[in-house]
Amino acid sequence: MNSHKSDFTIGTLSKYSSVNIETIRYYEKVEIMPSPPRSEGGYRLYNEIHLRRLSFVRRSRELGFSLEEIRGLLTLVDDKSYTWAQVESLTREHLETTRKKIIDLQKLEVVLDDMASKCDGGHVPDCPVIDTLFGETLFVRSLGAFS
């Protein structure tokens, strides 16, 4: 395929989209991004359509959409048959998932705050945070299982 003025390499696509090269290749592998044509020398040749799609994927990932959710949105876009109701449904599903994550993160915040408050500045072997992360209990430690 002859190179056109609008064709650019994966490095340039990476720079324009702020997505690293390995991630672009991964998106091609899992068919989130279409495989581009190749130059006579075997280089991938991208264009503005690829850049637009990659920007959509990057922004969707920034908003917390999973690759499967993005695939669903892109399928609607690619088929050019989507309705606002379909997009709204996918968005509301993601919103519900996000709300659940926020609740989980708030619970995690309480646990971490509690763990941090137990640090008394003593020696590391007696750190309750480390013990909690290892799942150790006073009973297990008293048996000398970790000595």
> pLDDT tens digits for 34-73?
999 999 999 999 999 999 999 999 999 999 999 999 999 9
HEC secondary structure over the chain: CCCCCCCECHHHHHHHHCCCHHHHHHHHHCCCCCCCCECCCCCECECHHHHHHHHHHHHHHHCCCCHHHHHHHHHHHHHCCCCHHHHHHHHHHHHHHHHHHHHHHHHHHHHHHHHHHCCCCCCHHHCHHHHHHHCCCHHHHHCCCCC
Does this model's pTM top 0.75?
A: no
CATH class entry, domain 1-64: mainly alpha
